[in-house]
Amino acid sequence: MGKKFYITTALDYVNAEPHLGHVLEKVEADAIARFHRLKGEEVLFLSGTDEHGQKVSAAAKATSYEPLVFADEMAEKFRRLKEIFNLSWDDFIRTTDEKRHSPAVRAIWQKLVSSDDIYKKKYRGLYCVGHEAFITEKDLEDGICRDHSAAPEVIEEENYFFRLSKYSSKIESLINSGELLILPEGRRNEIISLIQGEGLEDVSFSRPSKDLKWGIPVPGDDSQTIYVWADALTSYISAIGYPEEGFRKWWPAEAQLIGKDILRFHAAIWPGMLLSAGLTLPKSLLVHGFITVQGKKMSKTVGNIIDPVELAKKYGAEPLRYYLLKEIPSSADGDFDLERFKDVYESDLANGLGNFASRVLTLGSQLQKFEADFEDIEDEVKKKIDFTKKTVEEKINSFKLNEAMQAIMALVAFGDFYVNKNEVWRVMDQGLKKKEIFNLVVILDNVSAVLSPFLPKTAEKITQNIQWLGRKTLQIKKGEVLFPRLS
Ligand SMILES: [Zn+2]
């Protein structure tokens, strides 16, 4: 086995059903993981669920289930996304896993204690239930939390604190040097200016058990529960066996995908915890944006939450993967609109990719079995294919998956242009235009190869119609309709 590649998604919080934003993050991580597998790397792709905390116990209470019964049911809904969207994660960690997860959380806690980074302090602060965190005046607008449109409570309590301030300048220099790469750059600048502005402050790492029962008790002090972030972040190493030495096979992760709302936790608290525990930082944080629906933030009150599972049932998972990967910029906000989705389906998939594949396979199938001569591949075709492959790789590595998709669709358009320019469908006196048809098959075969991390099923359907019988003999089958028209 060659290089290893460890990639994680954020752990989804199980207080609500999976929505389109969750699927976006999974599909992005899946495409990256598949790309690295195809390169021959040994890949570990981790996803999972964050199940402790006040919001989950409140949501469970509302359904009159015990928190764990409620969490089991919700975790299953997230786990099922794997099959529905053909996600290729290798492991799924739950923070309620008492065998794998809680021992790791206790172990890292002890590490932080032995680094003298945990201390008890009376604290009075503004607690936002939506954040499940103490927030500051800066997070407020007219006394209301900007993210959650609710007023925070003033809480005074004694908690354990993590000495994050101690690592402020170390974290800053690791981010600046690119040892911890944050993409896109705008997000990196955001965290750097936060650190430079006020420095990183110590953070509350536990809450009194009387107020927060649903979680892991602080080792040696049952009156306090480990606060949800210290618990959830540890999942990235608990899943790979921390504190057993074997976890070093995978750690540090090459890429951790997160939403922009949890940047601060992953670019400040998580690095701080790792440094305190004497561990290396992940190599990169890839930060995606949010999906709006017709320009509006998805919310229960507006009633515009999109159920990705329903959408996949109706239109298929691959068209939805396509939309999320191509129409939503990987690292900025993007919009979902059902009409737009249908337009893209018709133009890019039914008429674009689907039609091109069908044209090429139909032409190829007319040749029956034929001898392929690689000398026949035209320079222009070779160049375009090489350029596409190089661009796709560059764009994936710089977390611009949507631009990688554009490059793939440009190769499809090039193929269509080639068909028309050469009038490949014409039958000449000497018979079919074998050489041109072969060039098209080569283009389609390469479209399928670069497309495979993004639309694995579609790529597979294409490739299974292109069969090599021996080293030079090709047989093309007509194949099924890839994307039936919607109307
Ligand atoms: Zn809030």
Q: Can you spell out the DSSP letters for 339-354? A: HHHHHHIIIIIIIIII
- Based on DSSP, count helices (H) and strands (E) in the chain, helices before strands: 18, 22
Answer whether 5's CB lies under 8 Å from 43's CB: yes
- What pLDDT is recorded for position 470? 86
- What pLDDT is recorded for position 195? 95
Distance from the CA of 471 to the center of ligand 1, in angstroms?
62
Distance from the CA of 224 to the center of ligand 1, in angstroms?
23
DSSP E strand boundaries for 213-345? 217-218, 221-226, 255-259, 284-288, 291-293, 296-297, 334-336
What tens digit of pLDDT does each residue of 148-202 get?
Answer: 889 999 999 999 999 999 999 999 999 999 999 999 999 999 999 999 998 999 9
Distance from the CA of 231 to the center of ligand 1, in angstroms?
19
The token pair at 52 is 């402790």
Distance from the CA of 54 to the center of ligand 1, in angstroms?
14
Query: What gap in Å lies between CA 404 and CA 407, rounded to an integer?
Result: 5
What tens digit of pLDDT does each residue of 371-418 get?
Answer: 888 899 999 999 999 999 999 999 999 999 999 999 999 999 999 999
Distance from the CA of 6 to the center of ligand 1, in angstroms?
31
Task: Please identify every residue whose CB atom is under 5 Å from ligand 1, which is an ion.
Answer: 128, 130-131, 145, 147-148
Distance from the CA of 129 to the center of ligand 1, in angstroms?
7
Answer whether 237's CB lies under 8 Å from 279's CB: yes
Distance from the CA of 67 to the center of ligand 1, in angstroms?
22
- What pLDDT is recorded for position 401? 98
In 3D, which of 451, 440, 392 has the Cα closest to residue 416? 440
The token pair at 486 is 């919607």
Q: Is the dihedral of CA 395, 397, 400, 401 positive or negative?
A: positive
- What pLDDT is recorded for position 100? 97
The token pair at 352 is 């674009």
Answer whether 184's CB lies under 8 Å from 191's CB: no
CB contact set of 313 (below 8 Å; sequence gap of 6+)? none
Residue 92's H or E segment, with its range, is: strand 91-94
- What pLDDT is recorded for position 132? 80
pLDDT under 50 in the chain at which residues? none
C-beta atoms surrounding 279 within 10 Å? 18
Distance from the CA of 144 to the center of ligand 1, in angstroms?
8
Distance from the CA of 150 to the center of ligand 1, in angstroms?
7
In 3D, which of 272, 274, 230 has the Cα closest to residue 253? 274
Distance from the CA of 280 to the center of ligand 1, in angstroms?
30
CB contact set of 322 (below 8 Å; sequence gap of 6+)? 344, 345, 348, 349, 405, 454, 455
Distance from the CA of 108 to the center of ligand 1, in angstroms?
27
Q: CB under 8 Å, gap of 24 or more: what pairs does 170-179 form?
A: 170/275, 171/195, 171/200, 171/267, 171/268, 171/271, 171/272, 171/275, 172/196, 174/271, 174/281, 175/267, 179/281, 179/283
Distance from the CA of 442 to the center of ligand 1, in angstroms?
53
pTM of this prediction exceeds 0.85: yes
- What pLDDT is recorded for position 1? 56
Residue 126: φ, ψ to 5°: -95, 115
- What pLDDT is recorded for position 336? 96
Distance from the CA of 136 to the center of ligand 1, in angstroms?
10
CA-only gyration radius of the chain, Å: 26
Distance from the CA of 79 to the center of ligand 1, in angstroms?
27
- What pLDDT is recorded for position 414? 98
Distance from the CA of 131 to the center of ligand 1, in angstroms?
4
C-beta atoms surrounding 170 within 10 Å? 13
Distance from the CA of 134 to the center of ligand 1, in angstroms?
9
